[in-house]
Every structure is written in C-alpha cells, then in structure tokens.
Amino acid sequence: MQAYEFLAKPENGTITIPNELRHTITTNVKVIVLEITQNKESRANTTSRKSDLILPPTIDTREWKFDREEANER
C-alpha cells in the first residue's frame, strides 16, 4: 500500500487527483478525508452546542441493593 498526500477542495462532491499523481495512481484507492479547520474559533463553534456532544447515559442506582452472598455465588 502506498500513501499520497495532497490538498484538494471538493467540488460537487468530487475530489480531483493532482496531475502529477494521475499517472501513478492507476488502481482502486482507499480515501480518508481530513477536513482542515481555519482557526480555533470555528472549531470551538462546532462543539459549543450541547446537542452535538455525546454524553454518558444517566442511570439512577439509588434503588439497587447489593447482595454480597448472591455476588459470591457467581
């Protein structure tokens, strides 16, 4: 497997391979897209909404009772 790195701007969902690499890349490829953020402020705005964050589930354990004998049987 060979890796090539270049910058591109998608146009209508298409990324163009640069001319200098077109003759080198002749088979199927695996594409990994890394989006470049412009500044820290734009990055902060993307995670500022609480609905965008993944929060752990809340479980109420006040009614649970621990039975040591039952736990030791397992």
Report pLDDT for 70.
Answer: 84
Question: Exposed, middle or buried, 38 (CB in 10 Å: 0-12/13-18/19+)?
Answer: exposed
Report pLDDT for 71.
Answer: 84
pTM value is: 0.44
Please list the pLDDT of the chain residue by residue as tens digits (74 residues).
888 888 888 899 898 988 988 888 888 989 888 888 776 655 555 555 666 667 778 888 888 888 888 888 86
Report pLDDT for 52.
Answer: 63
State how far the Cα of 7 lies from the Cα of 35, in Å rounded to an integer: 10
State how far the Cα of 50 lies from the Cα of 43, in Å rounded to an integer: 14
Report pLDDT for 49.
Answer: 60
